[in-house]
Amino acid sequence: MMNRRDLFKAAGAVGVGAAMPVALYAAETPATGGNAVVKTELKRLMLRHTWTTTMSSSAYRDTVHLQYQREGITGYGEGAPIVRYKEYPEQAKLALDAITGKIESGDPREFDKFLAEVRHALGDHQHAAMAAVDIAVCDWLGKKLGIPLYQYFGLDPADAPVTTFSIGIDTPEITRQKTREAEEFPILKVKVGLQNDEETIEAIRSVTKKPLRVDANEGWTDKEEAIRKINWLEAQGVELIEQPMPAHMFEETKYVRSKVHIPVIADEACTDASLIPQLKEAYDGVNVKLDKSGGVMEAYRWIKFARAMNMKVMLGCMVSSSCTVTAAAHLSPLVDYPDLDGNLLISNDPYEGVKVRHGKLILPSGPGLGLKVLA
């Protein structure tokens, strides 16, 4: 294990500043030559409960997984394509397979340039595929250095905050059941945005009085209805509202924000770091996801950009395995509202990584992501 003094000595005293560090490898650890070996596959993740939002309902989710093998080290990555942005698992895998040669020939020690070239080759509509590559390379880098990813970013794992646990849209009876199953979590995130919003919240409130955070997934299209519902939700102990209206309804959302008292967080409206300055006019914060941004490195940039704009930051995830969720969790000490429970919603997680103890994220101490491969 490399200690902090050795790390900075090896790095030529290059620090982790506001921008991403570019070269953290010592001169005494030259490349051995030869290309990496890349393997991709789709994995079907089975949900414990049917997962329903305003956009879809499903019993499983397929995600694309990538192994990056080089110099006797294997890095693991995953991407969960988001249908909202017209990204799909099969197409993500095909896109990765089409550029396997470029990924295998790139130098991970020059990862800034390497990952930029991969991003360019994948194009503008394969963010989850990009995330799979990025996460695998980050895992490989951490293992090569012998340090956990959070240490690479200069973060204290003790600062990892409490995550929410999500309750999808369902019948009142199943909603109460899900709420009881989430007893150990001090904060719940609730999906709303349909006609039964009040019914959903009342079902939860019949079981618990713990704080709630709510995600409407663009479900409300009338600004007056949105204001009424948000103010009612605040009275029910809701701490924030995520994406109350469709992303394109910017002016309407701006109006809604002026009439409510809890933070309004942009999710579907935030698809690129360049949008963050404009979003500040209508939202109090942004939801950063590795599958939207394209991996750990870009998510870090989004977080820093939002902080520079004095905005709140939520760190979210899709339904994913512990690969993606653990990668995101390594950045969690930087954010206000972690929502990293995608791996807890599935019954066949192929990895073991970040743990949750009474809601608090417990980061693994092993090198890289610190994953244990189960299947």
Please state the domain extents for the chain: 4-11+40-150, 152-373
- pLDDT value at 12 more than 80: no
pLDDT of residue 58: 85
Mean pLDDT of 151-171: 95
Mean pLDDT of 148-163: 98
32-70: per-residue pLDDT in tens? 457 999 999 999 999 998 877 766 678 999 999 999 999
Residues 241, 53, 172, 46, CA torsion sign = negative
- In CATH, the number for domain 152-373 is 3.20.20.120
pLDDT of residue 271: 97
Give the integer Cα–Cα distance in Å for 5 and 102: 34
Give the integer Cα–Cα distance in Å for 356 and 315: 15
- pLDDT value at 262 more than 70: yes
Give the integer Cα–Cα distance in Å for 127 and 124: 7
Q: Which fold has domain 4-11+40-150?
A: Enolase-like; domain 1 (3.30.390)
Residues 28, 32, 33, 39, CA torsion sign = negative
Cβ(59)–Cβ(50) below 8 Å:
yes
pLDDT of residue 194: 83
pTM of the model: 0.90
- pLDDT value at 195 more than 50: yes
202-212: per-residue pLDDT in tens? 999 999 999 99
Give the integer Cα–Cα distance in Å for 275 and 281: 11
